[in-house]
Chains A and B, each alone.
Chain A
Amino acid sequence: MTDELGCAELVELVTAFLDGALDADTERRFIEHLADCEGCERYLDQFRQTISALGRLTPRAMPQDAKQRLRAAFRHRHAG
């Protein structure tokens, strides 16, 4: 194994890379590989797209009646 990072290794480091958690040397090799490899560049891009898409999911809302009950509980606590 040379200094060069393989694609199979790179795909396992993507989250650490995005978190800025790679050590300087590994990060350098990651980026060098990326600059030369269309496949890994695409994989990283799709990883990013996946993360963005996850962030666009809309949460299920808490039912109104449950919220009303909680607000009543809040009022009750502060009534005295």
Chain B
Amino acid sequence: MPVRLREPRTPLTGVGTVYSRPVTGDALPPADVLVAALRAGDEAAFALLLDAWSGSMLRLARSFVSTDHSAEEVVQDTWLAVLRGLYGFEGRSSLRTWVYRILVNTAKKRGVREKRVVPWTSLLPEGNDHGATVDPSRFQGRGQRYPGHWQAFPHAWPSTEGTVLANELSAVIAEALRALPDKQRVVITLRDVDGHSSQDVCETLGITHANQRVLLHRARAAVRARLADYLATATSEGGR
């Protein structure tokens, strides 16, 4: 059983390790050094950036367009636009936020051209982004002893570290991400898969913290629920 939380701020420190993962390429030099190197034509610096960011850019682009191939083209076009715009970069946002904003704009235009069903005119939460994220039947009703409290606790998850399940989990998560509504997928991809800060994501997508949180929370709850289903059936005894 997990340790009880006693200090108000205890949980937040645990989360810090999640958010400060070195996914942004901690090995990269500081942004001003990078920008200077790029402007000076340092190809090695450009190669470093390409390697560090293209993978997650590809994943983000894929949320907006219909094929992997289109996503690759979006990322290529983004890099070309970055090279063209480099002298105009004023450092008002972080380099990565600036690059990702170009990516989102490029991807949106491309998505519109491909007539993707979901209009990307607005990244605000919509109808399917509201309501309970946990099945209300999991909680006691008004006539019961403790209304609003769990009927039965969520099943404990088995430890999957170092087991065959650990690999399968990645596939389950990837599938859960694909099943999300587009806006939720974009936000959870930026925040949790790629590890961008809340501030960066709001700037990149031009949405408020509150709206971002609505989308992120729904997305996380859906992925957690999918994992819970999977773990309940994959482990013969899903009990506590």
A residues near B, CB below 8 A?
6-9, 11-12, 14-21, 27-28, 31, 34-35, 37-63, 66-67, 69-71, 73-75, 77-78
Bound-complex Cα distance A60 to B60 (A): 11
Tell me the interface secondary structure of chain A in the complex.
helix
Kindly report which residue of chain B lies nearest to residue A74, judged by CB atoms: B46
Query: Are A7 and B150 in contact (CB-based, < 8 A)?
Result: yes
Kindly report which residue of chain B lies nearest to residue A16, judged by CB atoms: B213
Instruction: Knowing A55-B21, A59-B55 are in contact, say whether A8-B134 is a contact too (CB < 8 A).
Output: yes
Q: In the complex, which of the residues B54, B174, B220 contacts A67, with contact meaning CB atoms closer than 8 Å?
A: B54
- A-B CB proximity, top 7 nearest: A6-B148, A59-B55, A78-B41, A39-B153, A62-B54, A15-B217, A54-B192
Query: Are B58 and A60 in contact (CB-based, < 8 A)?
Result: yes
| Count of chain B residues with a beta carbon within 8 Å of a chain A beta carbon | 67
Q: In the complex, which of the residues B18, B43, B50 contacts A51, with contact meaning CB atoms closer than 8 Å?
A: B18
Bound-complex Cα distance A11 to B154 (A): 12
Kindly report which residue of chain B lies nearest to residue A80, judged by CB atoms: B41
Bound-complex Cα distance A63 to B148 (A): 51
CB-defined contacts of B43 to chain A, threshold 8 Å: 71, 74-75, 78
Tell me the interface secondary structure of chain B in the complex.
helix
CB-defined contacts of B156 to chain A, threshold 8 Å: 42
Instruction: Knowing A47-B224, A54-B173 are in contact, say whether A73-B18 is a contact too (CB < 8 A).
Output: no
Query: Are A28 and B8 in contact (CB-based, < 8 A)?
Result: yes
> Scoring B residues 216 to 240 as 1 if CB is less than 8 Å from chain A, else 0, what string do you get?
1100110110011000000000000
Bound-complex Cα distance A73 to B174 (A): 33
B residues near A, CB below 8 A?
1-2, 4-6, 8, 11-12, 14-15, 18, 21, 23, 41, 43, 46-47, 50-51, 54-59, 68, 72, 75-76, 79-80, 83, 132-134, 136, 139, 147-150, 152-154, 156-157, 169-170, 173-174, 177, 188, 192-195, 198, 209, 213, 216-217, 220-221, 223-224, 227-228
Query: Are A20 and B2 in contact (CB-based, < 8 A)?
Result: no
CB-defined contacts of A78 to chain B, threshold 8 Å: 41, 43
Min C-beta distance of B37 to chain A, whole Å: 11
Bound-complex Cα distance A44 to B10 (A): 13
Bound-complex Cα distance A59 to B56 (A): 6
Bound-complex Cα distance A18 to B197 (A): 12
Query: Are A47 and B220 in contact (CB-based, < 8 A)?
Result: yes
